[in-house]
Structure 1
Amino acid sequence: MADKHQEDLMHIRSMMERSSRFISLSGLSGVFAGLSALVGGTYVYLRLKNLGIDYLTSENSFYDKDLVLEFFLVALIVLFFALTFGIYFTLQKSKKNNHPIWTSTTKNLVINLAIPLCVGFVFCLSLLIHNLFVFIAPVTLLFYGLALINAEKYTFSDIKYLGYLELILGMLSLFFIGKGLLFWIVGFGVLHILYGIILFKKYK
């Protein structure tokens, strides 16, 4: 009898979890988002190298505005592919587990993610307009970290740890002006891949 009650409680807890949290988030989304960021970061590094700039050893913290606009476009392309992979793998996992996609929980998750991200995007645009290029990479990490922490209550709680790491990287990069690309690659590339693998193994 005790075992049956325990089973019933676990079933109720599972139902409550499904109704209050978006659990169709796939770890593969994080892996492919990270790979997209690594490709984008590699392109930027090689582009600078072709211009005769060794990013790892160069003391230069300021680049031509047209070049920065090109890199900003690369970041937007990376974001596009990351979102595309995220939507695709999430739809696949949702279909496999027979879970609805668009619910009130999903709506809350999107809103809580979008608010910090939209504010961060506007902030980055202002930095671009005022030629404060060196702060763009740190700002993207900071606002992305805040967005993940803000959205944690509507999906897997593990996501907040990724958010904290992104915040730490963002804050550290503020003290290494001109090396934001390295922090950006680690934050959006390496951490996403590691987080995606952990999430995939934990929530198969």
Structure 2
Amino acid sequence: MSDAHLTEPAAAFWEARYRDSGRVWSGRPNELLVREASALTPGTALDLGCGEGGDAVWLASRGWRVTGVDISATALERAAGHAVEAGVAERVSWERHTLGESFPEGRFDLVSANYLQSPVPLDQRAILRRAAAAVAEGGTLLVVMHAAWPSWQTEPPFPAEFPTLDGLLAELALPEAGWTVDTRETVRRPSTSPDGVEGHRDDHVWRLRRTEV
């Protein structure tokens, strides 16, 4: 596991988020990653904001060689443990980065950025542009973002801006000659509040294929 330059307060916020609680996520892969990546030919993958490793472990179990990246050392320790338990530890490496300040080196056949949305400052545009630049020729950029607060959320818990389908593509400013948009869609999922109120949440998903470098 390697460390890169980390900055406050983002590093402190996310480290406390994981350190001060038990397992935060289910350990299962994000369903939109499964939907969009299942048919891809395994190669090298970069999982940005990997958390406790659910997506990275799933990719590794399907034959990908994965680099998982997160800002929290505790999250990465749990992710590494998950990989060992799943028998895929030799297929995953873990790197600690404050995305926007530092970024993994190399190019990848799949770069996955699922829910890079944060209550603390995050240069989402810069990170996603770096993510696109890290996609190898013939490779895939997969981005999944919440499109709005859940239907049961009566008051936003913190200020947030949600990308639109066209808005995110405009911010990426990818050359049309070098990229093909395979998926550009809003998906509605069931969502239940902490106190049991049932509703839904809309997510945006973009899957783009790099046709030339």
Asked if these proteins are the same fold (TM beyond 0.5), I'd say no
Give the TM-score band, short-chain normalised: under 0.3
When Rg is computed on C-alpha atoms for both structures, the one with the higher figure is 1
Please, what TM-score do these two structures have when normalized by structure 1? 0.25
Structure showing the higher strand proportion among its residues: 2
Structure with the higher helix share, 1 or 2: 1
